Amino acid sequence: MISYWEQESLTSFDHIVVGSGLVGLSTAIELKTSFPTQRVLILERGILPSGASSRNAGFACMGSVTELLDDLKNRSESETIALFCLRKTGLERLRKRLGDSSIGYAENGSFELIGDTELYAIEKIAYLNQLLSPFVGCNPFSLANGKIEQFGFSSFYSKALIQNHLEGELHTGKMMRALTDFAIHLGVEIKTGANVLNLISEKKSVRIEVEDTLRKLPITLKASSATLCTNGFTQLLFPLEDVTPGRGQVLITEPIPKLKFKGIFHLDCGYYYFREIDKRILIGGGRNLDFNTETTTEMALNNTIQNELENKLRNLIIPDTPFAVAQRWSGIMAFGSSKQPIVKSLSHNIFGVFRMGGMGVALGSEVAKQVVELIQQNH
């Protein structure tokens, strides 16, 4: 039951975006920029974004050497280059839109720790440089073995260190705050605590049923177009899409005196990642220890993986250095049969942009642009 006033002024929009993460905010911004006089609404089921946008590690990354080599096992060179460049363009678009200072962007170095099982990657550096340099304007990768001792890493594990000269880091919280402020400044409306139950495509509009805990019955909103930016939660609304949730475990330490390194780091083919932030170490990953359990949309901790994150700190990253854990959390990413993000029409007026493959920070701004171009073509 809604009032006449609500029906007339508060339930009809031109464009509705489902999901207020990085992709959702970026999509709403692109919509409002393309259609400045039209009403754009974001619906977010949580008080804060529900996925990984505000719960990630803050890596402005495009792909480590071992990750790219793994991609090349299943994709052509041209496809791998295209996806790498898409990530690069997306990061550039994000930085240009918000400015480096507002998102805490910095380039303190990006490195991949190479253990015994990844030594094959060293001889592939020249090949990857030759493959990518025409598109990025430099050789992205080089050996930096001299920094292993400088950074204080265990030489028992770290047999080599590969530096990526294109990547940086950012402050995830500042980035999401800046994106939200930018969207609101443009006139985008945001409703949190709005759990979307169903989307119904009609000839001239989309009906969106939203849970209303106060009225006990769903409220129906209408729009000319609806765009799903739901990433790992997409199958809750469109169960046939090739999207699988993947939970990422994270912890951050208390400040550690005289920490020897800055920058962002990958190891174990990208399954683990860590960085320095505010004199602390943030470390995450380990899905490969328990893929079945981590294929979930439940926001919870996995003790096995959390313990392994501590082991990585204790034995590999800061051996012989005491530390205490300050916080632990998890975030929901999205994967599938391909690392290519999905940008598609789900009907003539429902669109989707999801399956970021753990690269939402890099991809989000560019795929948002792509989906709005798709909306323009259909309207």
Task: Tell me what the mean pLDDT of segment 131-136 comes to.
Answer: 98
Span 107-167+244-335 CATH architecture? 2-Layer Sandwich (3.30)
pLDDT for 248: 98
Whether 1 has a pLDDT exceeding 90, the answer reads no
Find the largest Cα–Cα distance for the chain.
Answer: 71
Whether 246 has a pLDDT exceeding 90, the answer reads yes
Q: Percent of the chain scored above 70 by pLDDT? A: 100
pLDDT for 213: 85
Q: Which tokens in the block code for residue 260?
A: 């020897």
pLDDT for 216: 84
Q: Which tokens in the block code for residue 21?
A: 């993460």
Q: Which tokens in the block code for residue 254?
A: 């208390």
pLDDT for 44: 98
In the chain, DSSP finds a helix count (H) and a strand count (E) of 11, 18
Domain with CATH 3.50.50.60 in the chain: 4-54+174-242+338-378
Domain with CATH 3.30.9.10 in the chain: 107-167+244-335
Report how far residue 44's alpha carbon sits from residue 16's, in angstroms, rounded to the nearest whole number: 11
pLDDT for 379: 79
Q: Give the single-character DSSP code of 106.
A: B
- What string of H, E and C letters represents the secondary structure of 301-368? CCHHHHHHHHHHHHHHHCCCCCCCEEEEEEEEEEECCCCCCEEEECCCCEEEEECCCCCHHHHHHHHH
Start-to-end Cα distance in the chain = 32
CA 95 to chain centre: 15
Is residue 285 within 8 A of residue 273, CB to CB? The reply is yes
Task: Tell me what the mean pLDDT of segment 20-29 comes to.
Answer: 99
Output the DSSP codes for 240-295: TSS-EEEEEEEEEEPP-TT----SEEEETTTTEEEEEETTEEEEEE-GGG-HHHHS
| Distance set, CA 34 to CA 90, 93, 353, 367, 368 (Å) | 18, 16, 17, 15, 12
Give the angle 79-357-173 at the CA atoms, nearest 5°: 125
Task: Tell me what the mean pLDDT of segment 5-11 comes to.
Answer: 95
Report how far residue 128's alpha carbon sits from residue 138's, in angstroms, rounded to the nearest whole number: 11
Instruction: Give the tens place of pLDDT for each residue, 264-298.
Output: 999 999 999 999 999 999 999 999 999 999 999 99
Report how far residue 309's alpha carbon sits from residue 137's, in angstroms, rounded to the nearest whole number: 36
Instruction: Give the tens place of pLDDT for each residue, 40-85.
Output: 999 999 999 999 999 999 999 999 999 999 999 999 999 999 999 9
Domain 4-54+174-242+338-378, CATH among 3.50.50.60, 3.40.50.720, 1.20.1290.10, 3.30.1490.100: 3.50.50.60
Q: Which is nearest to 114 in space by CA: 288, 282, 270, 277?
A: 270
pLDDT for 139: 98
Task: Tell me what the mean pLDDT of segment 344-355 comes to.
Answer: 98
Residues 6+ apart with CB under 8 A from 111: 144, 147, 161, 162, 163, 164, 263, 264, 265, 266
Instruction: Give the tens place of pLDDT for each residue, 195-206.
Output: 999 999 999 999
Residues pairing with 142 in the sheet? 163
Task: Tell me what the mean pLDDT of segment 213-239 comes to.
Answer: 96
Q: Which tokens in the block code for residue 79?
A: 């496809």
Instruction: Give the tens place of pLDDT for each residue, 152-195.
Output: 999 999 999 999 999 999 999 999 999 999 999 999 999 999 99
pTM over 0.75: yes
Considering the chain, what is the average pLDDT of its residues? 97
pLDDT for 215: 85
Kind of pairing, strands 272-277 and 264-267?
antiparallel
**Structure-derived torsion over alpha carbons of residues 59, 310, 114, 144, reported in degrees to the nearest 10:** 60
